[in-house]
Amino acid sequence: MKFAGKVWRLLVGIKDGLVLLFMLIFFGLLYMALSASPTAGTGDRGTLLLAISGPIVEQPSEPSAGEVLSGRAGPREYRLRDIVHALKEAADDDKVQAVALDLDIFSGGGQTALSDVGAALDQVKKAGKPVLAYATAYDDDSYLLASHASEVWLNPMGGVLIAGPGGTGLYMKGLLDKLGVTANVYKAGVYKSAVEPFVRNDMSPEAKQAAQALAGSLWESWNQEVARARPKAKLAPFMASMTQESAAQADLSKAALAAGLVDRLGDRDDFGRRVAEISGAGEDPVPGSFRHIDYSDWISAHPADDDDGPIGIVTIAGEIVDGEAGLGTAGAETIVRSIEEGLKRRNLKALVVRVDSPGGSALASERIRRAIMGAKARGLPVVVSMGSVAASGGYWVSMAGDKVYAEPSTITGSIGVFGILPSFQGTLAKLGVGADGVKTTPLSGEPDLLRGPSPEAGRLVQAGVDNIYGRFLTLVSGARKLPVARVNEIGQGRVWDGGTARQLGLVDAFGSLDDAIDEAARRAKIDPDDAEVTWLEQKPSLIESLFAAWAGGDSSSSDARARDAFSRIAERPQTILLRAVSDTERMLASPAIQARCLSCPPVARGRPPQVSAETHWLLRLLAL
């Protein structure tokens, strides 16, 4: 009877789980139905409203059930190709009379990604349709988008605060010394600065030189784009005035207006009334309403994905990791399976590899590269398109391309390898705890993280790092037709901007994803005007789609995130701390030998860094 009772309880538990699952699905579908616009954004004329309330990324990650239910899902991530496609469709559709950019709580994105959106906004203007932008305050990323608008609006209580690339990071050698933790570092590359936060309390001169050069190049590209998009903006005099003592008494919004950075001052209602002059007043009896088409409805009616074309596009976005991974992270086995299934089920004639990754596991990077080489072995031309970041492991996978496109603000290179093994002999000594044992060979029990790796183990790990670095150099040498000595000279873990990388021969040409698709079509003997694509990536499951819809949605007036520039600046120290700890956790949990660029800016800055519950407790203890 006891056995029968256990079986019965098991069956009841399964039944309760299924009921809960179906309830989640039902309420998710109900939420999506209630949230949908009756017109689906296509039945009426109006202004296309892009209220971008999160970061623009190459491939949005899907929030987990736990993140959604606990409210930790973070801001919605907007897929770059969706926004670009939506704007291109809007330029050619008579139903769209204008485009309104609401950048009040925009979380930014990679500089290359923002430039691509800016180019799409230019197409809307070229079609004779005005583009209007509004924000309470503008920072570097939001102003880069706003500079492409026909009219830039600023709240009278706001301002334009441009800081430029750069900033500080955390260096933890002093803390590790106090804790008695030894960071055993093995690296290849003078400029491979990813390990410096664990062995120094400041930047090395080599790392600072490389970082300064990269920041200067990105800043120059930013200024050039703003100057082209908005010639009347007197940016240099404005920034000079903001650092003067007199800036304390200045009205920031009026100063931005006088310098030509913005066109009009007004609150959200004033902005809405201006848009209503173009597309008509909205049906809602609220101040500032205007006839508009929601972005979500528009992209649902005009999806960017096309699964019938002969040109396959595989996306390598986020950290490169071994095994399987969800969207937004480049899981090697997931990407390899997508490529192999595409080759089996589709009549592919060419492959485009879109890379937006700072790297990660060296083994996973090689696994992906070999899968791409397998497509080349079948006679498919391969063209690589670099996004905002294609460094270290991201550059490794790019070496499978017949031609490599980048953009001036792309961050690439970082040809270097490193490994970190923490050991705790100092910690045990502080606690009065000893560690001892026996060996049968010099490598028994190694790497010994209690007493520290032995010299033999250290030499073995360093040999592995040197071997993989040598393989990296050989791959680049063969793919880029450069002598190994020359690759070693320009490698050394140094990060380069796209313009310098082109001069060094690390990439072939400047160009967008569309340029890469056209090149792949030409190499496959397909007319670029008729080139259709197939996106080779896993599709989210029904449950994942439901939770994404639950967590997503356009911004609303109830969003409590900071809108004024000074509040956003005040949030940066906490973000820097969490990101440093998050990077540390990922590095120590990753393979011992990595091809990762930590000096590269985060690809998706709007998503909060994720740290474990144990680390949250550690941060609290450190705060005490």
Rounded CA gap, 248 and 74, in Å? Answer: 34
CB 202 within 8 A of CB 171: yes
CB 595 within 8 A of CB 417: yes
Q: Collapsing DSSP states into helix, strand and coil, what is residue 459?
A: helix
What share of the chain has pLDDT > 90, as a percent?
52
Contacts of 245 (CB under 8 A, 6+ apart): none
pTM here is 0.84
Q: Does the pLDDT value for residue 401 go beyond 60? A: yes
Is 403 tagged catalytic?
Answer: no
CB 154 within 8 A of CB 458: no
Q: Collapsing DSSP states into helix, strand and coil, what is residue 481?
A: coil
Main-chain dihedrals φ then ψ at residue 486, nearest 5 degrees: -70, -40
Q: What average pLDDT does the segment 190-206 reach?
A: 83
Return the residue matching tokens 């441009």: 162
CB 502 within 8 A of CB 510: yes
Q: Collapsing DSSP states into helix, strand and coil, what is residue 390?
A: strand
More confident residue, 449 or 595: 449
Q: What is the residue-averaged pLDDT of the chain?
A: 83
What's the confidence (pLDDT) of residue 381? 97
Residue 521, CB-side half-sphere exposure with 13 Å CA sphere: 17
CATH number of 36-166+213-301: 3.90.226.10
* DSSP assignment of 491-540: -TT-EEEHHHHHHHTSS-EE--HHHHHHHHHHHTT--GGG--EEE-SPPP
Q: Does the pLDDT value for residue 61 go beyond 90? A: no
What's the confidence (pLDDT) of residue 271? 96
What's the confidence (pLDDT) of residue 259? 95
CB 113 within 8 A of CB 70: no
Least-confidence region, from 46-50, 163-167, 374-378 = 163-167
Q: What average pLDDT does the segment 3-32 reach?
A: 59
Q: By C-alpha distance, which of 208, 600, 604, 167 is closest to 414?
A: 600
What's the confidence (pLDDT) of residue 303? 87
Q: What average pLDDT does the segment 574-588 reach?
A: 57
Please report, as a single letter, which amino acid is at residue 69. Answer: L
CB 305 within 8 A of CB 533: no
Q: What average pLDDT does the segment 216-237 reach?
A: 95
Rounded CA gap, 18 and 8, in Å? Answer: 15
Q: Does the pLDDT value for residue 555 go beyond 50? A: no
CB 564 within 8 A of CB 58: no
Contacts of 438 (CB under 8 A, 6+ apart): 444
- Candidate list 392, 409, 414, 477, residue with the active-site label: 392
- Which helix (H) or strand (E) is 370 found in, with range? helix 362-377
Is 344 tagged catalytic?
Answer: no
Least-confidence region, from 45-49, 120-124, 196-200, 394-398 = 196-200
Strand arrangement of the beta sheet that strand 182-188 belongs to? 182-188, 417-423, 593-596, 359-361, 320-321, 330-331
Q: What average pLDDT does the segment 16-23 reach?
A: 61
Environment class of 388 (CB within 10 Å of its CB; exposed 0-12, middle 13-18, buried 19+): buried
Q: Does the pLDDT value for residue 571 go beyond 90? A: no
Rounded CA gap, 212 and 208, in Å? Answer: 6
Rounded CA gap, 13 and 45, in Å? Answer: 52
Q: Collapsing DSSP states into helix, strand and coil, what is residue 202?
A: coil
Q: By C-alpha distance, which of 468, 506, 508, 482 is closest to 596?
A: 468
What's the confidence (pLDDT) of residue 194? 74
What's the confidence (pLDDT) of residue 121? 98
**79: confidence class by pLDDT, cuts 50, 70, 90:** very high
What's the confidence (pLDDT) of residue 35? 46
Least-confidence region, from 29-33, 101-105, 467-471, 615-619 = 615-619
Rounded CA gap, 349 and 334, in Å? Answer: 22
Contacts of 398 (CB under 8 A, 6+ apart): 353, 355, 384, 386, 390, 404, 412
Q: Does the pLDDT value for residue 62 go beyond 90? A: no
Q: Does the pLDDT value for residue 608 go beyond 80? A: no
Pairing of strands 264-265, 151-160: parallel
Give 182's DSSP letter: E
What's the confidence (pLDDT) of residue 175? 85
Rounded CA gap, 447 and 316, in Å? Answer: 32
Q: Does the pLDDT value for residue 535 go beyond 60? A: yes
What share of the chain has pLDDT > 70, as a percent?
77
**620: confidence class by pLDDT, cuts 50, 70, 90:** very low
What's the confidence (pLDDT) of residue 386? 97
Rounded CA gap, 55 and 64, in Å? Answer: 18
More confident residue, 261 or 550: 261
> How many other C-beta atoms are found inside a 10 Å radius of the C-beta of residue 100?
27
What's the confidence (pLDDT) of residue 48? 97
Sign of CA dihedral 303, 307, 311, 313: positive
What's the confidence (pLDDT) of residue 133? 97
What's the confidence (pLDDT) of residue 170? 81
* DSSP assignment of 6-55: HHHHHHHHHHHHHHHHHHHHHHHHHHHHHHS-TTTTTSS-EEEEEE--S-
Rounded CA gap, 316 and 332, in Å? Answer: 9
Q: Does the pLDDT value for residue 454 go beyond 70? A: yes
In which region does residue 519 sit, left (phi positive, over 0), alpha (psi from -120 to 50) or beta (all else)?
alpha
- Candidate list 88, 129, 192, 403, residue with the active-site label: 192
Outline where 54-139 has alpha helix (H): 65-70, 80-92, 111-126
Q: Does the pLDDT value for residue 388 go beyond 70? A: yes
Most confident of 22-36, 288-302, 540-554: 288-302
Rounded CA gap, 434 and 24, in Å? Answer: 52
Q: By C-alpha distance, which of 366, 408, 425 is closest to 116?
A: 408
**622: confidence class by pLDDT, cuts 50, 70, 90:** very low
More confident residue, 560 or 139: 139
What's the confidence (pLDDT) of residue 618? 46
What's the confidence (pLDDT) of residue 146? 97
What's the confidence (pLDDT) of residue 188? 84
Q: What average pLDDT does the segment 305-322 reach?
A: 88
CB 214 within 8 A of CB 493: no
Preceding amide of 38 cis, omega within 30: no
**344: confidence class by pLDDT, cuts 50, 70, 90:** confident
Q: Does the pLDDT value for residue 541 go beyond 60? A: no
CA distance from start to end of the chain: 55
Q: Collapsing DSSP states into helix, strand and coil, what is residue 335?
A: helix
What's the confidence (pLDDT) of residue 43? 45
Environment class of 623 (CB within 10 Å of its CB; exposed 0-12, middle 13-18, buried 19+): exposed
Q: What average pLDDT does the segment 371-387 reach?
A: 96
Pairing of strands 417-423, 593-596: antiparallel
Q: Does the pLDDT value for residue 570 go beyond 60? A: no
Crossing angle between the packed helical segments 111-126 and 80-92, to the nearest 10 degrees: 10
